[in-house]
Structure 1
Amino acid sequence: MGRGGLTPFDQAVVEPQDWGRLEWMVSGAIGNSDTMTVGRCTIEPGRQNPPHYHPNCDEVLHVISGTIDHRLGESQLPMSAGDTISIPAGTVHNARNVGSEPAVLMIAFSTPDRKVVGE
């Protein structure tokens, strides 16, 4: 596709997880950005992604739907639709779905090649 351009809904790169799924629309690996990564994260009710951090980038997480408790370092932050959090590089974090519906989160990273430690 090259740098820039449209990623149709059915062409996102999907990574199933035991807690939900990650869907990638923009990244260096996809070939449509050399500056950032953008995706969608779905966490099933009662599930959580593992605590992890990104040594090479900041992350912004925006709740589209659902309710989560988000661990950011030593803090636990309740989040629901419309809430946004900025996560500095190197900060351990994870999200736990505390609702009865899937939680859908938009995620963006300040690099085209995000690194993950602890996942």
Structure 2
Amino acid sequence: MAEHHAPVMPIAKLARHNDKFRDVIWTGDKTQLVLMAIPEGKEIGGETHAGHDQMLYFVDGMGRATIGKTEMDISAGDVAIVPSGTYHNFQNVGSGMLRLFTTYSPPEHAPGTEHGTKADQEADPAAA
């Protein structure tokens, strides 16, 4: 999906209809908005973002969050807060997709970045 430039968008609806692993839909100077979909039994993959705070808003599915040394179940309606420099991972432990939208502050990915699958992201030399 091309980046949006509207000041208001139906983000939960967009997230619920997204099947891409990552789809950057808006990038500003200080914040970025990204849709994500994690298939059954898969995960985002453990990572740490130095210099980037991240908030993840879950709209569909069931998951397991690891943030630092804390593990917890997550589901639609939950938000996960990942401060800069904190290890994190999110796994889909339910049936169907785990769908969410996330914000990075400052932006983490190139504007307009799309990865259909995690494998696509891993094969992309430009991926952060």
Count of residue correspondences? 98
Q: Which residue of 2 aligns with 1:6?
A: 6
Higher strand content, 1 or 2: 1
* 2:67 matches 1:76: no
The answer for the alignment partner of 1:13 in structure 2 is none
Please report how far the alpha carbon of residue 55 of structure 1 lies from its aligned counterpart in structure 2 after TM superposition.
0.3
- Correspondence for 2:83: 88
C-alpha deviation, 1:5, in angstroms: 2.2
Unaligned 5+ residue runs, structure 1? 10-19, 28-32
Runs of 4+ in 1 over 2 A off after TM superposition: 4-9
**3-state secondary structure, aligned to 2:21:** strand
Percent same amino acid among aligned pairs?
25
Q: CA deviation at 1:36?
A: 0.5
More helix by share: 2
**What is the TM-score with the length of structure 1 in the denominator?**
0.74
Does residue 24 of structure 2 align to residue 24 of structure 1?
Answer: yes
Contact 2:65–2:73 (Cα < 8 Å) also in 1 = yes
